[in-house]
Structure 1
Amino acid sequence: MAQIESLFVTRLYRAQLSEFGPKVDAQELENSCLVIAGDDDAGQNWCEENGYPGYTSYASLTDLPWRFPIFADLVKSLDSHVAAFAKDLEFDLDGRELKLEDLWINILPEGGTHSSHLHPHSVISGTTYVSMPDGASALKLEDPRSARMMAAPTRTKDARRELQPFIYMKPDVGDVLLWESWLRHEVPMNMAEDERISVSFNYKWE
Protein backbone atom coordinates (compact mmCIF):
# COMPACT_ATOMS: atom_id res chain seq x y z
CA MET A 1 0.00 0.00 0.00
CA ALA A 2 1.46 3.34 -1.07
CA GLN A 3 2.02 5.94 1.63
CA ILE A 4 1.97 9.70 1.04
CA GLU A 5 2.76 12.24 3.73
CA SER A 6 3.16 16.01 3.86
CA LEU A 7 6.71 17.27 4.44
CA PHE A 8 8.27 20.64 5.30
CA VAL A 9 5.12 22.20 6.67
CA THR A 10 4.56 25.97 6.67
CA ARG A 11 2.85 27.03 9.90
CA LEU A 12 0.45 29.96 10.28
CA TYR A 13 -0.69 31.13 13.73
CA ARG A 14 -4.07 32.80 14.25
CA ALA A 15 -5.59 33.89 17.55
CA GLN A 16 -7.48 36.70 19.20
CA LEU A 17 -5.09 39.30 20.55
CA SER A 18 -7.04 39.27 23.84
CA GLU A 19 -6.10 35.64 24.49
CA PHE A 20 -2.86 36.82 26.13
CA GLY A 21 -1.68 39.88 28.00
CA PRO A 22 -3.39 43.10 29.03
CA LYS A 23 -6.68 44.01 27.37
CA VAL A 24 -6.19 46.33 24.40
CA ASP A 25 -9.31 48.36 23.64
CA ALA A 26 -9.96 48.10 19.89
CA GLN A 27 -11.56 51.53 19.54
CA GLU A 28 -8.75 53.22 21.49
CA LEU A 29 -6.16 51.46 19.34
CA GLU A 30 -7.92 52.57 16.14
CA ASN A 31 -8.16 56.16 17.37
CA SER A 32 -4.49 56.12 18.35
CA CYS A 33 -3.47 54.89 14.90
CA LEU A 34 -5.45 57.66 13.20
CA VAL A 35 -4.12 60.38 15.49
CA ILE A 36 -0.53 59.22 15.04
CA ALA A 37 -0.95 59.13 11.26
CA GLY A 38 -2.36 62.66 11.25
CA ASP A 39 0.54 64.02 13.30
CA ASP A 40 3.37 62.10 11.61
CA ASP A 41 4.53 64.56 8.94
CA ALA A 42 7.72 62.59 8.30
CA GLY A 43 5.75 59.41 7.71
CA GLN A 44 3.26 61.15 5.45
CA ASN A 45 6.11 62.66 3.43
CA TRP A 46 7.84 59.29 3.13
CA CYS A 47 4.63 57.66 1.85
CA GLU A 48 4.15 60.42 -0.73
CA GLU A 49 7.76 60.34 -1.91
CA ASN A 50 7.76 56.55 -2.24
CA GLY A 51 4.32 56.15 -3.79
CA TYR A 52 3.03 54.23 -0.77
CA PRO A 53 -0.78 54.27 -0.70
CA GLY A 54 -2.30 55.57 2.51
CA TYR A 55 0.03 55.69 5.50
CA THR A 56 2.66 53.62 7.27
CA SER A 57 4.85 54.58 10.23
CA TYR A 58 7.47 52.01 9.18
CA ALA A 59 10.03 54.58 8.01
CA SER A 60 9.36 57.31 10.55
CA LEU A 61 8.40 56.11 14.05
CA THR A 62 10.46 53.43 15.76
CA ASP A 63 9.33 53.89 19.36
CA LEU A 64 5.55 53.53 19.40
CA PRO A 65 5.53 51.38 22.59
CA TRP A 66 7.55 54.07 24.37
CA ARG A 67 5.38 56.96 23.15
CA PHE A 68 1.94 55.45 23.71
CA PRO A 69 0.90 53.15 26.59
CA ILE A 70 -1.62 51.29 24.44
CA PHE A 71 1.19 50.13 22.17
CA ALA A 72 3.21 49.03 25.21
CA ASP A 73 0.23 46.87 26.23
CA LEU A 74 -0.03 45.59 22.68
CA VAL A 75 3.60 44.45 22.74
CA LYS A 76 3.08 42.59 26.03
CA SER A 77 0.29 40.63 24.38
CA LEU A 78 2.29 40.02 21.20
CA ASP A 79 5.25 38.73 23.22
CA SER A 80 3.03 35.96 24.60
CA HIS A 81 1.60 35.07 21.19
CA VAL A 82 5.05 34.92 19.63
CA ALA A 83 6.30 32.72 22.49
CA ALA A 84 3.38 30.33 21.91
CA PHE A 85 4.09 30.19 18.18
CA ALA A 86 7.81 29.63 18.74
CA LYS A 87 6.94 26.70 21.01
CA ASP A 88 4.72 25.22 18.29
CA LEU A 89 7.55 25.63 15.77
CA GLU A 90 9.83 23.74 18.18
CA PHE A 91 12.63 26.29 17.84
CA ASP A 92 15.80 25.63 19.81
CA LEU A 93 16.46 29.19 21.01
CA ASP A 94 19.64 28.14 22.85
CA GLY A 95 18.82 30.18 25.94
CA ARG A 96 18.09 33.33 23.98
CA GLU A 97 14.73 34.96 23.24
CA LEU A 98 12.65 36.24 20.37
CA LYS A 99 12.32 39.98 20.95
CA LEU A 100 10.41 42.73 19.22
CA GLU A 101 12.52 44.30 16.48
CA ASP A 102 10.07 46.81 15.06
CA LEU A 103 6.36 47.62 15.07
CA TRP A 104 4.48 49.93 12.72
CA ILE A 105 1.02 51.18 11.73
CA ASN A 106 -0.55 50.54 8.30
CA ILE A 107 -3.56 52.51 7.04
CA LEU A 108 -4.66 51.36 3.59
CA PRO A 109 -7.33 53.42 1.79
CA GLU A 110 -9.77 52.22 -0.88
CA GLY A 111 -7.79 51.02 -3.90
CA GLY A 112 -4.55 50.67 -1.95
CA THR A 113 -2.35 47.58 -2.13
CA HIS A 114 0.85 46.33 -0.51
CA SER A 115 2.92 44.34 -2.99
CA SER A 116 4.42 40.92 -2.38
CA HIS A 117 7.35 40.93 0.04
CA LEU A 118 9.05 39.13 2.91
CA HIS A 119 10.90 40.29 6.04
CA PRO A 120 14.62 39.41 5.86
CA HIS A 121 16.73 39.32 9.04
CA SER A 122 13.70 38.56 11.24
CA VAL A 123 12.44 35.25 12.59
CA ILE A 124 8.70 35.76 13.12
CA SER A 125 6.56 38.46 11.54
CA GLY A 126 2.89 39.23 11.88
CA THR A 127 0.00 41.63 11.97
CA THR A 128 -2.86 42.44 14.29
CA TYR A 129 -5.99 43.87 12.74
CA VAL A 130 -7.51 47.11 14.01
CA SER A 131 -10.18 47.93 11.40
CA MET A 132 -11.44 45.55 8.70
CA PRO A 133 -14.49 47.11 7.00
CA ASP A 134 -16.60 45.07 4.58
CA GLY A 135 -14.59 44.51 1.42
CA ALA A 136 -11.21 44.99 3.11
CA SER A 137 -8.36 42.94 1.67
CA ALA A 138 -7.48 39.53 2.98
CA LEU A 139 -3.84 38.63 3.57
CA LYS A 140 -2.44 36.69 0.60
CA LEU A 141 0.26 34.12 1.41
CA GLU A 142 2.43 32.52 -1.27
CA ASP A 143 3.69 28.94 -1.38
CA PRO A 144 7.43 29.34 -0.66
CA ARG A 145 8.24 26.63 -3.22
CA SER A 146 6.78 28.62 -6.12
CA ALA A 147 10.12 29.71 -7.58
CA ARG A 148 11.27 26.07 -7.75
CA MET A 149 8.21 24.67 -9.56
CA MET A 150 9.82 25.30 -12.96
CA ALA A 151 7.96 22.81 -15.14
CA ALA A 152 5.08 21.85 -12.89
CA PRO A 153 1.50 22.16 -14.16
CA THR A 154 -0.89 24.43 -12.30
CA ARG A 155 -3.02 23.00 -9.50
CA THR A 156 -6.70 22.32 -10.02
CA LYS A 157 -9.03 24.99 -8.64
CA ASP A 158 -10.35 22.60 -6.00
CA ALA A 159 -6.92 21.29 -4.93
CA ARG A 160 -6.51 20.60 -1.24
CA ARG A 161 -5.72 23.69 0.83
CA GLU A 162 -2.15 22.61 1.58
CA LEU A 163 -1.48 22.30 -2.18
CA GLN A 164 -2.83 25.68 -3.24
CA PRO A 165 -0.20 28.12 -4.58
CA PHE A 166 -1.79 31.00 -2.67
CA ILE A 167 -3.81 31.11 0.53
CA TYR A 168 -6.07 34.04 1.44
CA MET A 169 -6.62 34.69 5.13
CA LYS A 170 -9.51 37.00 5.98
CA PRO A 171 -8.80 38.19 9.55
CA ASP A 172 -11.29 39.71 11.94
CA VAL A 173 -10.75 42.81 14.04
CA GLY A 174 -8.72 41.78 17.08
CA ASP A 175 -7.04 38.84 15.33
CA VAL A 176 -3.29 38.38 15.33
CA LEU A 177 -1.62 36.41 12.54
CA LEU A 178 1.97 35.16 12.82
CA TRP A 179 4.22 33.48 10.27
CA GLU A 180 7.91 32.81 9.76
CA SER A 181 9.51 35.89 8.24
CA TRP A 182 10.68 34.15 5.06
CA LEU A 183 7.09 33.55 3.96
CA ARG A 184 6.21 35.86 1.07
CA HIS A 185 2.92 37.71 1.47
CA GLU A 186 0.97 40.69 0.16
CA VAL A 187 -2.18 42.72 0.67
CA PRO A 188 -4.36 42.78 -2.49
CA MET A 189 -6.35 45.85 -3.43
CA ASN A 190 -8.58 47.18 -0.66
CA MET A 191 -12.09 47.18 -2.13
CA ALA A 192 -13.67 48.72 0.97
CA GLU A 193 -14.70 52.37 0.96
CA ASP A 194 -13.24 52.76 4.45
CA GLU A 195 -9.64 52.39 5.56
CA ARG A 196 -8.09 49.04 6.44
CA ILE A 197 -6.01 49.57 9.59
CA SER A 198 -3.48 47.15 11.02
CA VAL A 199 -0.32 47.03 13.11
CA SER A 200 2.55 44.89 11.83
CA PHE A 201 5.74 43.76 13.55
CA ASN A 202 8.92 41.69 13.41
CA TYR A 203 10.63 39.60 16.08
CA LYS A 204 14.34 38.78 16.00
CA TRP A 205 16.45 36.18 17.84
CA GLU A 206 18.91 37.61 20.34
Structure 2
Amino acid sequence: MADIKSLFVTRLYHAKLSDLGDPIDPDELEASCYSIAEDDEAGQDWCEREGYPGYTSYASLTDLPWRFPVFAQIKEALDKHVAAFADELDFDLGDGHLELEDLWINILPEGGTHSSHLHPHSVISGTTYVSMPEGTSALKLEDPRSARMMASPPRKKGGREDLQTFIFVKPRVGDVFLWESWLRHEVPMNMSEDDRVSVSFNYKWV
Protein backbone atom coordinates (compact mmCIF):
# COMPACT_ATOMS: atom_id res chain seq x y z
CA MET A 1 0.00 0.00 0.00
CA ALA A 2 1.44 3.36 -1.02
CA ASP A 3 2.24 5.91 1.65
CA ILE A 4 0.93 9.28 0.38
CA LYS A 5 1.46 12.38 2.48
CA SER A 6 0.36 16.01 2.14
CA LEU A 7 3.46 18.22 2.03
CA PHE A 8 3.93 22.00 2.07
CA VAL A 9 0.43 22.62 3.34
CA THR A 10 -1.27 26.03 2.94
CA ARG A 11 -3.21 26.96 6.07
CA LEU A 12 -6.36 29.07 6.16
CA TYR A 13 -7.53 30.29 9.57
CA HIS A 14 -11.28 30.88 10.02
CA ALA A 15 -12.94 32.00 13.25
CA LYS A 16 -15.35 34.50 14.70
CA LEU A 17 -13.56 37.71 15.59
CA SER A 18 -15.37 37.69 18.95
CA ASP A 19 -14.00 34.23 19.80
CA LEU A 20 -10.86 35.92 21.16
CA GLY A 21 -12.14 39.35 22.10
CA ASP A 22 -15.08 41.39 23.29
CA PRO A 23 -18.19 41.34 21.09
CA ILE A 24 -18.23 44.18 18.57
CA ASP A 25 -21.46 45.95 17.67
CA PRO A 26 -21.79 45.33 13.89
CA ASP A 27 -23.97 48.41 13.42
CA GLU A 28 -21.40 50.63 15.15
CA LEU A 29 -18.61 49.15 13.07
CA GLU A 30 -20.49 49.58 9.79
CA ALA A 31 -21.44 53.17 10.69
CA SER A 32 -17.80 53.92 11.52
CA CYS A 33 -16.64 52.55 8.15
CA TYR A 34 -19.06 54.77 6.25
CA SER A 35 -18.28 57.80 8.41
CA ILE A 36 -14.56 57.44 7.75
CA ALA A 37 -15.16 56.86 4.02
CA GLU A 38 -17.27 60.01 3.80
CA ASP A 39 -14.62 62.18 5.49
CA ASP A 40 -11.53 60.66 3.86
CA GLU A 41 -11.03 62.93 0.86
CA ALA A 42 -7.49 61.64 0.28
CA GLY A 43 -8.79 58.08 0.13
CA GLN A 44 -11.61 59.07 -2.22
CA ASP A 45 -9.13 60.84 -4.49
CA TRP A 46 -6.81 57.81 -4.52
CA CYS A 47 -9.69 55.45 -5.42
CA GLU A 48 -10.77 57.71 -8.28
CA ARG A 49 -7.23 58.14 -9.55
CA GLU A 50 -6.42 54.43 -9.40
CA GLY A 51 -9.79 53.25 -10.73
CA TYR A 52 -10.58 51.40 -7.51
CA PRO A 53 -14.31 50.63 -7.33
CA GLY A 54 -16.00 51.89 -4.19
CA TYR A 55 -13.72 52.96 -1.35
CA THR A 56 -10.64 51.79 0.49
CA SER A 57 -8.60 53.58 3.15
CA TYR A 58 -5.52 51.50 2.27
CA ALA A 59 -3.54 54.37 0.75
CA SER A 60 -4.74 57.19 2.99
CA LEU A 61 -5.25 56.27 6.66
CA THR A 62 -2.82 54.44 8.94
CA ASP A 63 -4.32 55.12 12.38
CA LEU A 64 -7.82 53.63 12.41
CA PRO A 65 -7.41 52.04 15.89
CA TRP A 66 -6.64 55.52 17.22
CA ARG A 67 -9.52 57.25 15.42
CA PHE A 68 -12.41 55.03 16.58
CA PRO A 69 -12.60 52.80 19.69
CA VAL A 70 -14.28 50.04 17.67
CA PHE A 71 -11.12 49.65 15.56
CA ALA A 72 -9.03 49.48 18.72
CA GLN A 73 -11.28 46.56 19.77
CA ILE A 74 -10.68 44.91 16.41
CA LYS A 75 -6.91 45.25 16.79
CA GLU A 76 -7.01 43.76 20.28
CA ALA A 77 -8.91 40.72 19.02
CA LEU A 78 -6.79 40.36 15.88
CA ASP A 79 -3.58 40.32 17.91
CA LYS A 80 -4.88 37.21 19.69
CA HIS A 81 -6.09 35.49 16.52
CA VAL A 82 -2.79 36.14 14.74
CA ALA A 83 -0.82 34.81 17.73
CA ALA A 84 -2.94 31.64 17.65
CA PHE A 85 -2.40 31.23 13.90
CA ALA A 86 1.35 31.81 14.23
CA ASP A 87 1.45 29.04 16.82
CA GLU A 88 -0.46 26.73 14.45
CA LEU A 89 2.09 27.55 11.73
CA ASP A 90 4.98 26.61 14.06
CA PHE A 91 6.65 29.98 13.48
CA ASP A 92 9.89 30.45 15.39
CA LEU A 93 9.71 34.17 16.11
CA GLY A 94 12.78 34.19 18.34
CA ASP A 95 12.84 37.39 20.40
CA GLY A 96 10.45 39.07 17.95
CA HIS A 97 6.70 39.11 17.56
CA LEU A 98 4.03 39.72 14.94
CA GLU A 99 2.76 43.30 14.98
CA LEU A 100 -0.11 45.00 13.17
CA GLU A 101 1.33 46.94 10.23
CA ASP A 102 -1.76 48.10 8.30
CA LEU A 103 -5.52 48.07 8.93
CA TRP A 104 -7.88 49.41 6.28
CA ILE A 105 -11.54 49.60 5.24
CA ASN A 106 -12.94 48.18 1.99
CA ILE A 107 -16.38 49.18 0.66
CA LEU A 108 -17.11 47.32 -2.58
CA PRO A 109 -20.32 48.33 -4.39
CA GLU A 110 -22.39 46.36 -6.87
CA GLY A 111 -20.22 45.33 -9.82
CA GLY A 112 -16.98 46.00 -7.94
CA THR A 113 -14.08 43.54 -7.90
CA HIS A 114 -10.63 43.35 -6.34
CA SER A 115 -8.28 41.58 -8.73
CA SER A 116 -5.87 38.82 -7.78
CA HIS A 117 -3.03 40.01 -5.56
CA LEU A 118 -0.79 39.20 -2.61
CA HIS A 119 0.69 41.29 0.22
CA PRO A 120 4.48 41.68 -0.13
CA HIS A 121 6.69 42.38 2.91
CA SER A 122 4.07 41.07 5.38
CA VAL A 123 3.86 37.74 7.21
CA ILE A 124 0.14 37.24 7.90
CA SER A 125 -2.74 38.99 6.18
CA GLY A 126 -6.45 38.69 6.52
CA THR A 127 -9.91 40.21 6.59
CA THR A 128 -12.81 40.53 8.99
CA TYR A 129 -16.27 41.06 7.54
CA VAL A 130 -18.62 43.94 8.37
CA SER A 131 -21.44 43.59 5.83
CA MET A 132 -22.02 40.63 3.52
CA PRO A 133 -25.41 41.04 1.80
CA GLU A 134 -27.08 38.10 0.08
CA GLY A 135 -25.47 37.54 -3.32
CA THR A 136 -22.20 39.26 -2.55
CA SER A 137 -18.94 37.65 -3.60
CA ALA A 138 -16.91 35.07 -1.71
CA LEU A 139 -13.16 35.21 -1.14
CA LYS A 140 -11.23 33.40 -3.88
CA LEU A 141 -7.90 31.78 -2.97
CA GLU A 142 -5.39 30.46 -5.50
CA ASP A 143 -3.07 27.48 -5.15
CA PRO A 144 0.40 29.08 -4.81
CA ARG A 145 1.87 26.37 -7.05
CA SER A 146 -0.24 27.40 -10.06
CA ALA A 147 2.71 28.76 -12.04
CA ARG A 148 4.45 25.38 -11.71
CA MET A 149 1.54 23.34 -13.09
CA MET A 150 2.37 24.06 -16.73
CA ALA A 151 1.40 20.65 -18.11
CA SER A 152 -1.06 19.49 -15.46
CA PRO A 153 -4.60 18.47 -16.42
CA PRO A 154 -7.46 20.21 -14.58
CA ARG A 155 -8.72 18.81 -11.29
CA LYS A 156 -12.00 16.91 -11.19
CA LYS A 157 -15.04 18.98 -10.24
CA GLY A 158 -16.15 18.07 -6.77
CA GLY A 159 -12.77 16.54 -5.99
CA ARG A 160 -10.86 16.94 -2.76
CA GLU A 161 -10.77 20.53 -1.56
CA ASP A 162 -7.06 20.42 -0.74
CA LEU A 163 -6.25 19.54 -4.38
CA GLN A 164 -8.29 22.26 -6.10
CA THR A 165 -6.57 25.11 -7.94
CA PHE A 166 -9.03 27.71 -6.65
CA ILE A 167 -11.01 27.71 -3.42
CA PHE A 168 -13.98 29.96 -2.73
CA VAL A 169 -14.80 30.63 0.92
CA LYS A 170 -18.01 32.43 1.87
CA PRO A 171 -17.54 34.70 4.89
CA ARG A 172 -20.27 35.77 7.27
CA VAL A 173 -20.48 39.01 9.19
CA GLY A 174 -18.12 38.84 12.17
CA ASP A 175 -15.85 36.20 10.62
CA VAL A 176 -12.10 36.62 10.43
CA PHE A 177 -9.90 34.85 7.87
CA LEU A 178 -6.11 34.72 8.15
CA TRP A 179 -3.54 33.43 5.67
CA GLU A 180 0.16 33.78 4.99
CA SER A 181 0.73 36.96 3.03
CA TRP A 182 2.23 35.22 -0.02
CA LEU A 183 -1.10 33.50 -0.76
CA ARG A 184 -2.69 35.02 -3.87
CA HIS A 185 -6.35 35.94 -3.45
CA GLU A 186 -9.08 38.08 -4.97
CA VAL A 187 -12.65 39.26 -4.53
CA PRO A 188 -14.83 38.38 -7.55
CA MET A 189 -17.53 40.75 -8.74
CA ASN A 190 -20.07 41.82 -6.13
CA MET A 191 -23.38 40.72 -7.62
CA SER A 192 -25.43 42.20 -4.79
CA GLU A 193 -27.13 45.58 -5.06
CA ASP A 194 -25.70 46.40 -1.63
CA ASP A 195 -22.13 47.14 -0.54
CA ARG A 196 -19.73 44.45 0.58
CA VAL A 197 -17.89 45.95 3.58
CA SER A 198 -14.79 44.49 5.19
CA VAL A 199 -11.68 45.44 7.16
CA SER A 200 -8.37 44.00 5.99
CA PHE A 201 -4.95 43.99 7.64
CA ASN A 202 -1.30 42.96 7.51
CA TYR A 203 1.02 41.79 10.29
CA LYS A 204 4.81 42.05 10.11
CA TRP A 205 7.59 40.34 12.07
CA VAL A 206 9.48 42.73 14.32
TM-score by length of 2: 0.99
Percentage of pairs with the same residue: 75
Cross-structure match for 1:95: 95
The 2-side partners of 1:106 and 1:35 are apart by 13
2:190 is the counterpart of 1:190 = yes
The 2-side partners of 1:62 and 1:71 are apart by 12
Which SS does the other structure have where 1:115 is aligned?
A: strand
Cross-structure match for 1:150: 150
Mean CA deviation greater in 148-157 or 172-181: 148-157
The 2-side partners of 1:168 and 1:22 are apart by 28
The 1-side partners of 2:73 and 2:23 are apart by 8
Cross-structure match for 2:20: 20
- Give the Å deviation of 1:22: 2.5
Any residues of structure 2 matched to 1:72-91 within 5 Å, and which? 72-91=72-91
Which SS does the other structure have where 1:66 is aligned?
A: helix
The 2-side partners of 1:33 and 1:180 are apart by 25
Cross-structure match for 1:40: 40
Amino acid at match of 1:15: A
Cross-structure match for 2:108: 108
Which SS does the other structure have where 2:197 is aligned?
A: strand
Amino acid at match of 2:162: E
The 2-side partners of 1:198 and 1:181 are apart by 17
- Give the Å deviation of 1:101: 0.3
How well do the aligned residues superpose, as a CA RMSD in angstroms? 0.6
**Gapped runs of 5+ residues in structure 1?**
none
Any residues of structure 2 matched to 1:54-69 within 5 Å, and which? 54-69=54-69
Q: Which runs of 4+ in 1 moved over 4 A?
A: none
**Gapped runs of 5+ residues in structure 2?**
none
Cross-structure match for 1:135: 135
Which SS does the other structure have where 1:19 is aligned?
A: helix
Cross-structure match for 1:173: 173
